Amino acid sequence: MEWNFEAGVPIYLQLMDGFRQAIARGEYPPGQKLPAVRDLAVEAGVNPNTMQRALAELEREGLVYSMRTSGRFVTEDANVLETLKKELSDACFEAMYEKLTALGMTEIEIREALDRWLLDRAGI
Amino acid sequence: MEWNFEAGVPIYLQLMDGFRQAIARGEYPPGQKLPAVRDLAVEAGVNPNTMQRALAELEREGLVYSMRTSGRFVTEDANVLETLKKELSDACFEAMYEKLTALGMTEIEIREALDRWLLDRAGI
Amino acid sequence: MEWNFEAGVPIYLQLMDGFRQAIARGEYPPGQKLPAVRDLAVEAGVNPNTMQRALAELEREGLVYSMRTSGRFVTEDANVLETLKKELSDACFEAMYEKLTALGMTEIEIREALDRWLLDRAGI
Amino acid sequence: MEWNFEAGVPIYLQLMDGFRQAIARGEYPPGQKLPAVRDLAVEAGVNPNTMQRALAELEREGLVYSMRTSGRFVTEDANVLETLKKELSDACFEAMYEKLTALGMTEIEIREALDRWLLDRAGI
DNA sequence: GTGGTCTAGACCACC
DNA sequence: GTGGTCTAGACCACA
């Protein structure tokens, strides 16, 4: 993973986002042990506290769990992972939708354009 | 229009993009006279030459045309405007698609998720 | 006729050229009486002497003739007029030919391109 | 190449024309590296920006391409070069044709005169 | 050293 | 006043 933070949004949120995508992508498979917080922190070039916070929040979300002495692991709960994927893709769709409405397109126009685009894509 | 440029990408390109969206959005309706280059430049906080370049390139694309002494106008060619909208929305779709594939989703999964999301949205 | 002299080449030559073309074009038909030298001079914005010289040279070429008391006339000699046309068109051809050879085309290439162009033109 | 610009027509256009002819003439063979923009600019006695613009527009036309750090090169696309030659010669023919029609010659007369001239030339 | 971009300020033609 | 062009000089990214 390569980190590349943008200004204006809290780093721990960006870290969480990165992990969410890595997990959804399967880069960190279910049950996989994560590196130590300190290692992750130096790799990302952030303060260990910041990394700790990101992971703690992810734990709150149920995406990772920690076994007191042996480290942190990606959840094996298929349900949670499914939900994660859904949330990420939905966010993507929302972003697209918002952009297009900001562009002046109505809902109907968007659906038509989307259908057209999917057909074109299938045609390619 | 409010301008705030991001570093790393040429300003004149960002200007062009802004105008493309404004025109697609209908903020500048077909046939509408644009403010003078110099005025647009001060409004955007850029050098008149930079604004001039952006508008000249938009003219090459057929989105605007200029009459030497009376100003610059948005094209009235419905065809061009239609193409513009299509290109902008397609770019949006492409971006979404790329993001989701980068997230590890296959084409089929994307379509399913998209259908689901559209249904949910209709349900709301 | 409108005069528009370019620097570097004697004005009386430019005047002669203008008359040659006007006569070839039929703007001054055969036998037509020309305006008085003085009038022509003021119209062209040149010194009467310069205009006089141009006309005298044209007379030497046989393109115009003067009847002592009644003025100057365009020749009625069909032969001379024919030659004039030929000379003008030939000059045009030479100019074209020279330009194209300067562009690196061989005689054969020029002929081929010319044939192609004539065909295209006929096709239009 | 020697530059001497005529007033009234934008320098960058004249520069473009010069390069077009030089390339068509083979003075800059396909794949040839062009001198640096700044060098070309001083050689032509124009501002680097003006030269840059000329070359950028030629790049848009596909006649040259630039590799960010290593320089600018003449295209190696034989098709483009062929088209260039055709366009230049056609422009030449058009100019000739227009001149002769302005001289009062009909299309048929022009063709006859042209044939005659070509025969004469072959006879020489 | 390369191409590319940007700014600042000037001039021109047109009406 | 409009768009368009040109100059002068600067900075950047890249390798």
DSSP character string of chain A:
----PPTTS-HHHHHHHHHHHHHHHTSS-TTPBPPPHHHHHHHHTS-HHHHHHHHHHHHHHTSEEEETTTEEEE---HHHHHHHHHHHHHHHHHHHHHHHHHTT--HHHHHHHHHHHHHHHHH-
pLDDT at site C55? 94
Residue ranges of chain C with per-residue pLDDT less than 70 = none
Query: Is D touching A (3+ C-beta pairs, cut-off 8 A)?
Result: no
For residue A89, is pLDDT > 90?
no
Please list, in sequence order, all residues whose beta carbon lies within 8 angstroms of the beta carbon of residue C27, skipping any fewer than 6 positions away.
C1
The answer to whether the Cβ–Cβ distance between D103 and C86 falls below 8 Å is no
Average pLDDT over residues D12-34: 94
pLDDT at site A115? 87
Write out pLDDT tens, residues B64-110: 999 989 999 999 999 999 999 999 999 999 888 888 888 888 888 88
How, if at all, do strands C64-67 and D33-34 pair? Answer: unpaired
pLDDT at site A59? 93
Q: Is the CB of D49 under 7 A from strand E?
A: yes
D66: enclosing H helix or E strand: strand D64-67
For residue D39, is pLDDT > 80?
yes
Confirm if A28 and A34 have CB atoms less than 8 A apart: yes
For residue D114, is pLDDT > 90?
no
For residue D40, is pLDDT > 90?
yes
pLDDT at site A63? 92
Cβ-Cβ contacts under 8 Å, B105 against chain A: 85, 89
Q: How many CB pairs under 8 A join C and D?
A: 65
pLDDT at site B121? 85
The answer to whether the Cβ–Cβ distance between C93 and D110 falls below 8 Å is no
Nucleotides of E under 7 A from a protein CB: 1-10, 13-15
Residue of C nearest to D110 (CA): C89
For residue B49, is pLDDT > 90?
yes
pLDDT at site D45? 93
The answer to whether the Cβ–Cβ distance between A113 and B21 falls below 8 Å is no
What is the number of other CB atoms lying within 10 angstroms of the CB of residue D102? 10
Cβ-Cβ contacts under 8 Å, A119 against chain B: none
pTM: 0.82
Write out pLDDT tens, residues A16-72: 999 998 898 888 899 899 999 999 999 888 899 999 999 999 999 999 998 888 889
* B21/A contact by beta carbon, under 8 A: yes
Cβ-Cβ contacts under 8 Å, A4 against chain B: none
B52: enclosing H helix or E strand: helix B48-60
Topology of domain C11-76, per CATH? Arc Repressor Mutant, subunit A (1.10.10)
- Chain D window 61-120, residues with Cβ within 7 A of nucleic strand E: 66, 68-72
For residue B123, is pLDDT > 90?
no
Give the one of D92, D102, D105 whose C-beta lies nearest to C100's C-beta: D92
Kindly tell me the number of DSSP H helices and DSSP E strands found in chain C: 5, 2
Q: Residue A59's closest CA among A10, A23, A87?
A: A23
Among residues of chain A, what percentage have pLDDT more than 90? 30
The answer to whether the Cβ–Cβ distance between A24 and B103 falls below 8 Å is yes
Query: Is B touching A (3+ C-beta pairs, cut-off 8 A)?
Result: yes
Q: Which residue is nearest to nucleotide F7 (CA to C1')?
A: D47
pLDDT at site D123? 82
Domain parsing of chain C, residue ranges: 11-76, 79-123
**Got the DSSP string for C74-97?**
E---HHHHHHHHHHHHHHHHHHHH
pLDDT at site B106? 85
The answer to whether the Cβ–Cβ distance between B103 and A89 falls below 8 Å is yes
Cβ-Cβ contacts under 8 Å, B24 against chain A: 103-104
Write out pLDDT tens, residues D63-98: 999 998 999 999 999 999 999 999 999 999 988 888
Q: Is the CB of D34 under 7 A from strand E?
A: yes
